[in-house]
Copies of this chain bind each other. A is one copy, B any other.
Amino acid sequence: MDLREGRKRVVIEKVSPEIDGGLFAVKRTVGEKVVVEADIFSDGHDLISCVLLFRKEADHDRRALPMEPLINDRWRGSFQVSDIGRYFYTIEAWVDRFKTWRRDLKKKVHAGQDVSVDILIGLKLIAEAVPSAGEKEVKALEERIAEIDCASDAVEKIALALDDDLAELMLSCSERRFVATYEKELPVVVEREKARFSTWYEMFPRSCSNKKGIHGSFKDCEARLPYIAGMGFDVLYLPPIHPIGHSHRKGKNNSPTAKAGEPGSPWAIGSEAGGHKAVHPELGSFDDFCRFMEKAKDLGLEIALDLAFQCSPDHPYIKEHPEWFRRRPDGMLQYAENPPKKYEDIYPIHFETDRWQELFVELRSVVVFWIEAGIRIFRVDNPHTKPFLFWEWLIGEIKRDYPEVIFLSESFTRPKVMYRLAKLGFSQSYSYFAWRNTKREITQYFQELTGTEAKEFFRPNLWPNTPDILSEFLQTGGRPAFMVRLVLAATLGASYGIYGPAFELCENRAREFGSEEYLDSEKYEIKAWNLDDLSSLRDFVGRMNRIRKENPALQSNERLRFHECDSDQILCFSKHTEDFSNMIFVVINLDPHHTRGGWTHFPVEEMGLEAHQGFQVHDLLSDARFLWHGSRNYLEIDPRVGPAFVFRVRRRLRTERDFDYFM
């Protein structure tokens, strides 16, 4: 205990947000608010005042904003972050003598007591504010003192002493004694908007030739760009584009041996043609890649690369840095395994190597290489199989120099590991969304993601499918199942993505019963997709993404709320902007097989609508409009027609009362 602080009487505790005692940063994007709360109190009956202090990392001066009391000694304040980078915040509080004096004076006056001594005390407090006040304030304070001094009687003195303007003046410049400062400065990492709101499309470049068995190139990818941009995506994520190893190359359907001409898995990185800084020769040259990236940019598509830190047996690192790999007692290097499964086409990097520092530096150079080529988004493959400390260091290093870079954590593992990775700095994270299908599962999971501390550091990116995940729901529910999952992903998540064209073409054949692997998975072969298939969801996806772009409520997860419905197959939820100017109400039939109906509940009054007046709901998917009165409304959804209503709720209809001549 620090006895130098013997007279600081105010306690500041239970500050929120504060991730693991301030060890990790709260995440925001440019323009968002940080709402800070804390328990703040003092001994005794004196009143306190509190300010929220914040600064950008480079600044030394902090701005102060007043905090307001809620109930039960909880206080709240907020500030807005305007720039990419790091911010810090903390809290100051003190016993406010003038505020306390003013409250007590009022009570005494009310009780008819003599307050002449109290007036003298107040004058002293005003006088004490003078030495530290600004020039203008000094003048005002001195005027106030003179006025009260000269007032002809007690009643006038009291009125002048209790004047609201004086209270305000004193709030800003009264002497602050024994100010308590919260012992930590808490960090905020502010990223660009895309860290919060992004729409991803994953595609294998080698399948872009559209010709069976012909390896696609970056030039073919260029031709595919308008198709993807046309659906409204803004991030195009490519599996690894590096040279693929030959040794133990996997064949079709993950066969342990590849036949001649089989392309292998893009995640078996490295060959004589190079490693993580090289481009697979069959895709084209590095320049081809750069040109493709530029074309994508012109269409509003940002390219995201895959960071998969592992090596094929033919990767240059194997020869140049054998010490980065685990060696078995028989002298061989250790391939990847998850016993009894073996992945002989891949050697994991041994992060416990004695030469770990050189390893870290080399891996950073891989990221910098692609950043210098123009990449600003990385999807990180299995980050949970590399040390936490490595990611904390790497992301810290990169974001110091390139704060606009976004990292997406592709980690499907235990909950606490996924959260830890997010805390370490990943901008976005894959989630359990693919396996949350029932009303209860979805509600619980999204209440956790958006209603607990997780919302401060974990930004979920929702993927209904990936090359590794063809969920049971998609396997069995036909085209309506794909529509249900798309609407859920696109409306529950400010960021979502699909693995296409498998998704929009409703590819749902699994390798075997009980497996989530695709039959004839694109991971091991070149596919030719029929993009013009009549049952393609291309237009539906495009409409959904346009709705997202036009409705700010869907661009954040901040105000997601679930609402009641008496059918356990119908899920209702809403999102709205802080000012309610944009309100979305989603009603979705989770059953892809049958028409379902139910009474939905939309909390009219909490949404700023007047219960007695009607309001309009406009289904942005079908363009149908309904007039509703009150919170309970019956809806029926036939999954063969469409899986959901995505209503834009409009505040208020014009009625005859709005005309000037009414009444």
Contact = CB atoms under 8 A, between A and B. Distances in A.
Interface of A: 1, 3, 5-9, 11, 13, 20-21, 39, 41, 43-45, 72-73, 103-104, 107-108, 110-111, 113, 117, 120-121, 123-124, 177-178, 328-330, 332, 337-340, 351-352, 356-357, 360, 384-390, 392-393, 396, 414-417, 420
B124 A329 contact: yes
B178 A352 contact: yes
A415 B177 CA distance: 26
B9 A72 contact: no
Contact of A43 (B6, B356, B385): B385
A157 to B, nearest CB: 14
Nearest first, the 3 closest Cβ-Cβ pairs linking A and B are: A111-B340, A120-B329, A107-B339
Contacts of A108: 339-340
Given A43-B384, A43-B417, A44-B384, 20 more contacts: A1-B393, A3-B393, A5-B389, A6-B356, A6-B389, A6-B393, A7-B356, A9-B351, A9-B389, A11-B388, A41-B416, A44-B386, A72-B415, A73-B414, A111-B339, A117-B329, A117-B330, A123-B329, A124-B329, A177-B352
What is the oligomeric copy number?
Answer: 2
A338 B73 contact: no
A175 to B, nearest CB: 13
Contacts of A414: 41, 72-73
Contacts of A385: 43-45
A416 B111 contact: no
Contacts of A6: 356-357, 360, 387, 389-390, 393
A440 to B, nearest CB: 19
Contacts of A332: 117
A386 B392 CA distance: 45
A388 B110 contact: no
Nearest to A330: B117
B339 A387 contact: no
A43 B338 contact: no
A386 B43 contact: yes
A384 B45 CA distance: 9
Nearest to A383: B43
A41 B72 CA distance: 37
22 contacts: A1-B389, A1-B393, A3-B389, A6-B356, A6-B357, A7-B351, A9-B387, A11-B420, A41-B420, A43-B385, A43-B417, A44-B384, A44-B386, A45-B385, A73-B415, A104-B337, A104-B339, A107-B339, A110-B340, A120-B328, A120-B330, A177-B352
